[in-house]
């Protein structure tokens, strides 16, 4: 009887342990499956925003997300407007699915007087001032032809720039992709470039109460010392002793420059004034005696 009871206990225990293990495995499998489904759905949503080529043409379409059902009016609108992105010169100022207007090369050529209104040039292309027939003034950036950027990269760039909005960045308002040219249209900055605001003269920086009575070379030397003091690398910052010595050298060099800038008449007048003061002092000495 004892042997039977012990066998029963051992068998029940083993069965319970196996059951618990199977239950744990089942819970893990279910949670893992749900997690994979969530990752797949989020990947599908991200993929819905990536432009793809359709039928080998230069247009692209968005993959409809899970929220766009076949009976959705948004899907119908996108299907009607899916001549889409970079489609060729058939439509003027067409708006792609990304919401960025497309301008024709002919209109931009006219607005820039055949691309003669150059306002800037960089490594990535030239920028022109464009006066549109609507009265808008835009900055037209023609990307360099030697760029290795292809159609797909240009499409991605337009989509990303169209979504990028910041108070310190110029907004992208349109694009053009015709005649082998890649063109971006930005809001025109009427107050000049950022460099014109960053690089100003000392007249705009120094205290106006000085009324222009300052040495530009001395200010440049002091600014150079100050720039070293604010270096991001701590070991490159000078010690206080070095700063004092540097400022002392700046003052001495400034005095030397002022001395050399004096005209001969000024030097002669200062010498005569010095002699006159010496004579007055000597006369006062005799009076005291």
Residues of each annotated binding site for ATP: 141
Residue 279 tokens, joined? 């004579």
Which of 157, 159, 141 is closest to 149 using CA atoms?
A: 157
140: left (phi over 0), alpha (psi -120 to 50) or beta: beta
- What is the Cα–Cα distance from 141 to 187, expressed in whole angstroms? 11
Counting beta carbons within 10 angstroms of the beta carbon of residue 92, is it exposed (0 to 12), middle (13 to 18) or buried (19 or more)? exposed
User: Could you give phi then psi for residue 207, rounded to 5 degrees?
Assistant: -65, 130
Distances (CA, A) of 72 to 69, 82, 96, 144, 160: 5, 15, 19, 42, 26
Task: State whether residue 137 is helix, strand or coil.
Answer: strand
Q: What does the CA dihedral 45, 49, 50, 54 come to, rounded to 10 degrees?
A: 100
Beta partners for residue 60, in sequence order: 53
167: left (phi over 0), alpha (psi -120 to 50) or beta: alpha
- What is the Cα–Cα distance from 173 to 228, expressed in whole angstroms? 41
Find where tokens 């107050």 sit. 191
């Amino acid at each position: 009887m004892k042997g039977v009871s012990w066998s029963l206990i051992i068998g029940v225990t083993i069965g319970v342990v196996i059951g618990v293990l199977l239950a744990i495995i089942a819970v893990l499998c279910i949670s893992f499956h749900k997690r994979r489904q969530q990752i797949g759905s989020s990947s599908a949503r991200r993929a819905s925003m990536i432009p793809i080529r359709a039928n080998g043409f230069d247009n692209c379409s968005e993959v409809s997300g899970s929220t766009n059902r076949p009976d959705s009016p948004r899907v119908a609108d996108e299907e009607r407007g899916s001549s889409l992105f970079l489609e060729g010169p058939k439509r003027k100022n067409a708006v792609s699915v990304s919401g960025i207007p497309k301008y024709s090369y002919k209109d931009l050529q006219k607005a820039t007087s055949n691309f003669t209104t150059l306002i800037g040039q960089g490594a990535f292309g030239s920028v022109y001032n464009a006066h549109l027939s609507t009265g808008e003034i835009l900055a037209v950036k023609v990307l360099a032809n030697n760029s290795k950027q292809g159609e797909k990269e240009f499409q991605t760039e337009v989509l990303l720039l169209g979504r990028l909005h910041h108070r310190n960045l110029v907004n992208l308002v349109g694009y053009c992709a015709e005649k082998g040219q890649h063109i971006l249209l930005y809001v025109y900055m009427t107050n000049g470039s950022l460099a014109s605001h960053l690089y100003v003269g000392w007249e705009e920086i120094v205290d106006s109460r000085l009324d222009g009575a300052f040495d530009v070379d001395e200010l440049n030397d002091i600014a150079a010392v100050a720039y070293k003091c604010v270096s991001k690398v701590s070991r490159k910052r000078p010690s206080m002793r070095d700063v004092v010595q540097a400022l002392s050298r700046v003052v001495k060099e400034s005095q030397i420059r002022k001395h050399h800038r004096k005209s001969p008449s000024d030097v002669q007048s200062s010498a005569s004034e010095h002699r006159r003061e010496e004579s007055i002092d000597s006369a006062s000495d005799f009076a005291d005696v």
